[in-house]
Homo-oligomer: A and B are copies of this chain.
């Protein structure tokens, strides 16, 4: 057996798993089962788990709970009962100078090595300096004749920690991660880690978490790089699994049969949204999901994603027509629901809107119609959906997109009502692209369009007033989305954006709308982050805010 004989190669299993944040006993049980599987079925010498695998990532203020240390210690004791395979895993470790984001190596009940993360990210979505003290010094341990260095996630984005491991004698580097997705992130990682491998002449095993956690999507995509930076193994994105690599002890050459294709932009976004929704619903224990299907493209895409995430049997769609709902909208909604096989019903909102309007008639006497009446429609729909949610235990999905969230074209407690906003970080232009991409997939599989073509072709309208079109009061979506991207993701000013060729009046109007809508976003449902800057932990703006757009 490999444990006794001299090793010419070492087999590692990279455990790209989906953990439940806070559930230390459950995560420990998952790790133990996978370790036994890796040992017995995959004949692995070692199994590598991601960053903070014991707690899931990010545990946030659960890290402040006094029993954390006791729970982690109990979990480690359990892991130590596993025999015949080396475990590399992540855990919060209390030391004399504070809590560390640590990696441990254990085998046959012994702790072979411990490492504490040096580079604690405290930017974008990360708050690690709220909880952790930075580690110092390299950690290198020996396994079957090979000296192996350890680093954690952000460490590899800097040159110091890997270099320290190399200087301490590492012949191979293991980097464990909880690295969230954004568009293009997988390629970025390969670039950065490849550079590190090259510069240090060090093969690197990169193991990442997979799964959704509130607004964050962890895409997995674990990989192994030769010392040349060449990709030796690429695990798939967005799915859990163990991925095996063999490292030749003498040459340090890595071989693996796992060579997954990296999905393109649209596929990666779509899969990220599916995974995020599935995990949110499943981990929270909802029976299913429920949404208002308007005949428009946002709800059509949300419905498609929900069906792909959960199966049609766990999805309900409700059309809630009013006077301004076009027949074409009713027909398209019904057609899509029928095609996908979801439970579908139609609940007109006329009676509620009338009841509200009558009740308010005296209060509003002498005042003209404005957005109030539109919001009454949206809010009557929100209340209906929430009532069905309360009665049946289905989670309501708001269907608004990032463009609307940005400029505040959404009604608080109306179309914003719900628990998980699938398209919250997806700009409108991307919504169209994703529908086309999903339809192309269906067609390639010989199936009918998932989103009726007419829904894609019609000009977007909120249908809250007669003959209303979104672009009546906003720039065309391609221009709007580019203005928003520059302002929100790139921190460009009105001045910069106008200088790039956009209409000054439109830019000032759009940026002003973004600024005054912060209070709405603050009360919005969480939704999966797919961009470099979403409306979540990575954009922390004051509501009361006297900053003037301009320069």
Q: Which residues of B contact A391 (CB under 8 A)?
A: 360, 363-364, 367, 370, 372
Does A214 have its Cβ within 8 Å of any Cβ on chain B?
yes
Considering the complex, give the chain B residue whose CB is closest to the CB of A349: B359
Whether A493 contacts B67 by the Cβ 8 Å rule is: yes
Within 8 A of B (CB), among A521-549: 522-526, 539-548
Whether B390 contacts A370 by the Cβ 8 Å rule is: yes
Number of copies: 2
Question: Which of these, B351, B356, B372, B413, contacts A413 with CB under 8 Å?
Answer: B413
Within 8 A of B (CB), among A350-397: 351-352, 354-356, 358-360, 362-364, 367, 370-372, 375-376, 379-380, 382-384, 386-388, 390-391
Contact with B along A292-305 (1 / 0, CB 8 A): 00000000000000
Whether B60 contacts A540 by the Cβ 8 Å rule is: yes
Q: Which residues of B contact A384 (CB under 8 A)?
A: 356, 359-360
**For the complex, what is the distance from the CA of A531 to the CA of B349, rounded to whole Å?**
43
Whether B491 contacts A546 by the Cβ 8 Å rule is: no
Considering the complex, give the chain B residue whose CB is closest to the CB of A545: B22
Considering the complex, give the chain B residue whose CB is closest to the CB of A126: B130
- With both chains docked as a complex, state the minimum distance between the C-beta of A126 and any C-beta of chain B, in angstroms: 9
Does A442 have its Cβ within 8 Å of any Cβ on chain B?
no
Whether A127 contacts B59 by the Cβ 8 Å rule is: no
Within 8 A of B (CB), among A258-289: 279-280, 283-284
Considering the complex, give the chain B residue whose CB is closest to the CB of A524: B523
**For the complex, what is the distance from the CA of A550 to the CA of B66, rounded to whole Å?**
11
Does A41 have its Cβ within 8 Å of any Cβ on chain B?
no
Does A62 have its Cβ within 8 Å of any Cβ on chain B?
yes
**For the complex, what is the distance from the CA of A99 to the CA of B550, rounded to whole Å?**
22
Considering the complex, give the chain B residue whose CB is closest to the CB of A281: B544
Q: 11 extra interchain contacts, Cβ-Cβ under 8 A, other than A62-B547, A66-B491?
A: A21-B542, A22-B546, A56-B546, A65-B491, A67-B493, A212-B544, A214-B543, A284-B544, A347-B360, A370-B391, A379-B413
Which 8 residue pairs across A and B have the least CB separation, nearest first?
A: A23-B546, A22-B547, A413-B413, A20-B546, A372-B390, A351-B355, A22-B546, A352-B355
**For the complex, what is the distance from the CA of A376 to the CA of B122, rounded to whole Å?**
42
Whether B356 contacts A61 by the Cβ 8 Å rule is: no
Q: Which residues of B contact A26 (CB under 8 A)?
A: 546
- With both chains docked as a complex, state the minimum distance between the C-beta of A24 and any C-beta of chain B, in angstroms: 8
Does A71 have its Cβ within 8 Å of any Cβ on chain B?
yes
Q: Which residues of B contact A522 (CB under 8 A)?
A: 526
Does A95 have its Cβ within 8 Å of any Cβ on chain B?
no
The tally of residues in A whose CB lies under 8 Å from a CB in B reads 87
16 contacts between A and B (CB under 8 A): A22-B547, A23-B548, A25-B548, A60-B540, A62-B547, A122-B129, A212-B544, A214-B542, A284-B543, A347-B359, A351-B355, A351-B359, A360-B388, A383-B413, A413-B413, A523-B523
Does A412 have its Cβ within 8 Å of any Cβ on chain B?
yes
Whether A345 contacts B359 by the Cβ 8 Å rule is: no
Contacts A67-B493, A526-B522 known; A59 to B354 CB distance under 8 Å? no
- With both chains docked as a complex, state the minimum distance between the C-beta of A492 and any C-beta of chain B, in angstroms: 8
Question: Which of these, B348, B352, B362, B388, contacts A363 with CB under 8 Å?
Answer: B388
Whether A363 contacts B383 by the Cβ 8 Å rule is: no
**For the complex, what is the distance from the CA of A363 to the CA of B343, rounded to whole Å?**
11
A→B interface (CB under 8 Å): 20-26, 56, 58-62, 64-67, 70-71, 122-123, 127, 129-130, 212-214, 279-280, 283-284, 345, 347-349, 351-352, 354-356, 358-360, 362-364, 367, 370-372, 375-376, 379-380, 382-384, 386-388, 390-391, 412-413, 417, 419, 491-493, 519, 522-526, 539-548, 550-551
Whether A542 contacts B22 by the Cβ 8 Å rule is: yes
Whether A354 contacts B355 by the Cβ 8 Å rule is: yes
Question: Which of these, B519, B525, B544, contacts A20 with CB under 8 Å?
Answer: B544
- With both chains docked as a complex, state the minimum distance between the C-beta of A214 and any C-beta of chain B, in angstroms: 5
Which of A56, A386, A550 neighbours the largest number of chain B CB atoms within 10 Å of its CB?
Answer: A386
